[in-house]
Homo-oligomer: A and B are copies of this chain.
Amino acid sequence: MTVRFGLLGAGRIGKVHAKAVSGDANAKLVAVADAFPQAAEAIASAYGCDVRSIEAIEAAKDIDAVVICTPTDTHADLIERFARAGKAIFCEKPIDLDVARVKACIKVVEETGAKLMVGFNRRFDPHFMAVRKVIDDGKIGDVEMVTITSRDPGAPPVDYIKRSGGIFRDMTIHDFDMARFLLGEEPVSVVATAAVLVDKAIGEAGDYDSVSVILQTASGKQAIISNSRRATYGYDQRIEAHGSKGVVSAENQRPVSIEVANAEGYTRPPLHDFFMTRYTEAYANEIASFISAIEKGSKISPSGADGLAALVLADAAVQSVKEGKLIRIG
């Protein structure tokens, strides 16, 4: 079976998914839609597909699934429309920045029986998948303490910050998902601290750029998250899971692994400086997983519920900073 795709949104991340779909032997990119015709044309020409309107894709009989890469504030509406249209849906995170809206959207998905996958790409990084497998294989025993370090090479423009929902909903949300992925048990409390250390303009926009979070589960397992909008040495992405029998970690990835030594010491090049080069394989694996789940009719993960759970943790973190206390979940 070949899964036939429509792509909604032809921007930066849209291109990534267009390439992944086109390169997958079990999928075919049929059409692309974008508010900017030129962006859609570029993808259509590169991968030999049609340019169509969203409405046309919605109505198309030759399209089985869509990839939603449009602006965040359109996600929930599009999910609902395509769920009703009977398409399988891959949607970039987040479903929405508002928990109530996400819940309403998930309700529609459930009612229509649509397949929905939410784009937490890091779960598909081969190194992080290997960490998860070590845990699943029982090699570190029961997970006890998870540590996630996640720092961006630099802060996004303040305009982006303003629309982002804030650092916890925009950036930490990936780490909340990763914590859930590694803990294997739902967090029941969140406590966070936050500060503006990188760029005052971020503070003036009402957001933070340097935050720390502790999650705890009912059985006492803890996950620590450290985020910064700055990392001069590249895109810093490390995870560690400490358990009763041992510890497993995934170190940073760098594009070139050489070392030069001289009188000043031993120097290795910086890390990847961009999430797309860091997570190239993750993006490809993610779409492959979506395609495979559609083909086999198997369970899709991460689901809408996973998207919701991470957002709930993000909201709790915001509240924890505001109120200076630990917030209980659920």
Residue in B closest to A326 when the chains form the complex, CB atoms = B324
B233 touches A266 (CB 8 A): yes
Asked if residues A270 and B259 are in contact (CB atoms below 8 Å), the reply is no
Picked from B216, B221, B265, the residue with its CB within 8 Å of the CB of A233 is B265
Q: CA separation between A265 and B232, bound complex, in Å?
A: 9
A263 at interface (Cβ–Cβ under 8 A)? yes
Contact across chains for A193 and B189 when beta carbons are under 8 A apart: yes
Known: A197-B221, A210-B220, A228-B242. A265 touches B270 (CB 8 A): yes
Interface string of A45-80 (1 = CB under 8 A from B): 000000000000000000000000000000000000
Task: Report yes or no: B196 in contact with A220, Cβ–Cβ below 8 A.
Answer: yes
The docked-state distance in angstroms from the alpha carbon of A144 to that of B231 is 11
Q: Quick one: which of B147, B211, B246, B250 contacts A262, CB cutoff 8 A?
A: B246
Most buried by B among A145, A265, A269: A265
Task: Report the Cα distance A250→B257, complex, angstroms.
Answer: 6
Tally of this chain's copies: 4
- Nearest CB in chain B: distance from A175 CB, A: 13
A105 CA to B236 CA in the complex, in Å?
A: 45
**C-alpha spacing A283/B303, complex, angstroms:** 37
Indicate with 1 or 0, residue by residue over A100-139, a CB within 8 angstroms of chain B CB atoms.
Answer: 0000000000000000000000000011001100100001
A256 touches B224 (CB 8 A): no
- How many angstroms between the C-alpha atoms of A233 and B260 in the bound complex? 10
In Å, the complex CA distance between A140 and B261 comes to 8
**What distance in Å separates the Cβ of A250 from its nearest Cβ neighbour in chain B?**
5
The interface bits of chain A over 288-330 (1 if a CB of B lies within 8 angstroms of the residue's CB, else 0) are 0000000000000000000000000000000000001110000
Check if A1 is an interface residue, CB within 8 A of chain B. Answer: no
- Cross-chain contact A269 with B130 (CB below 8 angstroms): yes
Q: Tell me if B256 and A127 are in contact (CB < 8 A).
A: yes
Cα A261 to Cα B130 in complex, Å, equals 14
Query: Would A267 and B269 count as touching, CB distance under 8 A?
Result: no
* 7 cross-chain pairs, A with B, having the tightest CB-CB distances, nearest first: A195-B220, A246-B262, A233-B261, A325-B325, A324-B326, A130-B256, A267-B267
Q: List 19 A-B contacts (CB under 8 A).
A: A127-B256, A130-B256, A139-B262, A144-B210, A145-B226, A147-B147, A193-B222, A193-B326, A212-B216, A222-B226, A224-B226, A232-B263, A233-B261, A246-B263, A247-B262, A263-B270, A265-B268, A266-B268, A267-B268
